[in-house]
Amino acid sequence: MTLVHTTGAEPGLLGPAAPGPSPAPCATPEELPMTEAATVFVATCDLAGQVRGRAVPSSDQGSALRSGTGWVPADLAISSFGPIAPNVFGSRGDLRLLPDPATGVDIPADGDTPALRLYLADQTLPDGEPWPCCPRTFLRNAVDELRERTGIEVTAAIEHEFVLGGLPAGPPFSLQRFRQAEPFGADLVRLLERTGLQPENWLPEYGDGQFEITLRPGTAMAAADRAVLLKELVRDLARRRGLPVSFAPLLDPDGAGNGVHLHLSLRDAEGRPLLFDPARPGRLSALGARFAAGILRHTPALTAWTAPSPVSFLRLTPHRWSAGGIFLAEHNRESLLRICPTTQLAGADPAAQFNLEYRAADATANPWLALGVLLRAGLEGLVRDYDVPTVWPEDTDDSVLAGVPALPSSLEEALHALEADEVVRSWFDPRLLATHLSVKRSELAQLAGLDDAARIRKVADVH
């Protein structure tokens, strides 16, 4: 079926999607992008949210773009803390990391640190056919199925929070804190602009040493690719500036947490926005409410992918401005799904800006999988007869919201919800699902017996 909407569109906060990475024809040697780097790193992001891969000499860039580099199925089972979790692949099988030429970025030389060209890759079979367990392929398939079954295109943006260590104490959101991070902040913005990641905002956040960086919206694949690259560029720059950095969900049991906010806007094939209807509650269209219904219906299982560390759920509790319950609300930072505000300043069109923000995610998740499961869940809401959710107004009293369904209280509870949700399980190759469950339970086992503070430190050390 085709679901369409006729509201006109103008560029806005979530305006027409920027072109995203897509397969490109193999370049001739004369057409290859020039690089001053001695090496080219071909990378993927795994179930532990870690970027891993292999490097080749820059002189072999053309060969790597055409035929990739070797990889191993069991690499998917490497846990955050190092050991390979029990998995169905064992020592058998071979893959290729096949770079997407559109994802290439150059990290310039800096002092004694040499330049590097970095590509993101699909994991394929040796003959180039897609590997069903590849996280990037999972997102691509989710985007394609949503388009094929509904005619809908997705625009997305992903916001990251992280903590920089080694800085003096400074007031939240202050110019003082902002300047204390210099020259790191200015260097980061220049690097993101140079690499085409399109930074939108760079700001001091609420927590000690906490900052937020937002990137401009793009296609779903572009947004997820940029999220993978952003973390690595921040980490690389912080290391070169002698600053410890962490994207971990928490650094202190009582401190502010680091979240990842996933913004989604839906459009038809002509680019017209589909979520806005000023006559409906929260100005959310009937189609948007059904899309939200799918996410809300499957939230417990989704969090096993979007908040998948052993300490993620210590952050996802009421009154932390993270996600205090499974509900949809206007402008409420305690909601799982928040209807974001719009502006009409300078003649801006609210329809073009209108978007939903999913708040129960953090940077321990794989961005391709996190965004992919949201699109899959939203599609279920569009094609199934789910109850349309209440849109809680901005002025709803907290006492009223006390009765909304709660998020899982732990990663183990989320994993059980995933195993119990037949719809969500059906989206995954059984080997990918089994490996994810094994990796996450391996991470839980490696932290067993530790108190919350010690578990938080272990996670912060690797994220």
Q: Where are the domains of the chain?
A: 137-427
- 3-class DSSP state of 214: strand
pLDDT of residue 377: 98
pLDDT tops 90 at residue 31: no
Residue whose structure tokens are 């997820």: 224
Q: Which residue has the higher pLDDT, 111 or 45?
A: 45
pLDDT of residue 48: 94
- Residue-wise pLDDT tens digits, 163-220: 999 898 889 899 999 999 999 999 999 999 999 999 999 999 998 899 999 999 999 9
For 31, counting Cβ atoms within 10 Å of its Cβ (0-12 exposed, 13-18 middle, 19+ buried), the class is: exposed
User: DSSP character for 60?
Assistant: G
- Give per-residue burial for 168-189: e unless 16+ CB within 10 Å, then b: eebeeeeeebeebbeebbebbe
- Residue-wise pLDDT tens digits, 406-417: 999 999 999 999
pLDDT of residue 28: 45
The beta-strand segments (E) located in 139-209 are: 153-164, 199-204
Once rounded to an integer, what is the mean pLDDT over residues 118-147?
98
pLDDT of residue 34: 64
pLDDT of residue 347: 86
> Which helix (H) or strand (E) segment is 70 a member of?
strand 69-71
Percent of the chain exceeding pLDDT 90 equals 80
pLDDT of residue 147: 97
Q: Are 258 and 210 in contact (CB under 8 A)?
A: yes
pLDDT tops 50 at residue 25: no
Q: Among 82-86, 218-222, 380-384, which stretch is predicted with the lowest mean pLDDT?
A: 82-86
Token digits of residue 461 = 């050390």
pLDDT of residue 12: 36
- 3-class DSSP state of 156: strand
pLDDT of residue 395: 86
Token digits of residue 364 = 């321990």
pLDDT tops 80 at residue 20: no
User: What confidence category does residue 342 fall into, taking pLDDT thresholds of 50, 70 and 90?
Assistant: confident
Q: Whole-model pTM above 0.85?
A: yes
pLDDT tops 50 at residue 6: no
Q: Which residue has the higher pLDDT, 23 or 395?
A: 395
Residue-averaged pLDDT of the chain = 90
pLDDT tops 80 at residue 251: yes
pLDDT of residue 430: 97
Q: Which residue has the higher pLDDT, 403 or 16?
A: 403
List the CATH code of the domain at 137-427: 3.30.590.10
**Closest by CA position to 207, among listed 250, 152, 239, 244:** 250
pLDDT of residue 226: 97
Token digits of residue 138 = 């999972």
- 3-class DSSP state of 105: strand
Once rounded to an integer, what is the mean pLDDT over residues 277-287?
96
Once rounded to an integer, what is the mean pLDDT over residues 49-68?
95
Token digits of residue 189 = 């913005």
- Residue-wise pLDDT tens digits, 432-461: 999 999 999 999 999 999 999 999 999 999
- Residue-wise pLDDT tens digits, 361-370: 999 999 999 9
pLDDT tops 70 at residue 234: yes
Q: Can you spell out the DSSP letters for 229-277?
A: HHHHHHHHHHHHTT--EE--S-SSTTSPPP-EEEEEEEE-TT--B-SB-
**Closest by CA position to 325, among listed 400, 229, 235:** 400
Separation between Cα atoms, residue 42 and residue 119, nearest integer Å: 5
pLDDT of residue 29: 42
Percent of the chain exceeding pLDDT 70 equals 92
Q: Which residue has the higher pLDDT, 215 or 16?
A: 215
Q: Among 73-82, 136-145, 259-268, 394-403, which stretch is predicted with the lowest mean pLDDT?
A: 394-403
> Which helix (H) or strand (E) segment is 96 a member of?
strand 95-99
> Which helix (H) or strand (E) segment is 344 a member of?
none
Phi–psi pair at 161, nearest 5 degrees: -115, 145
Q: Which residue has the higher pLDDT, 349 or 320?
A: 349
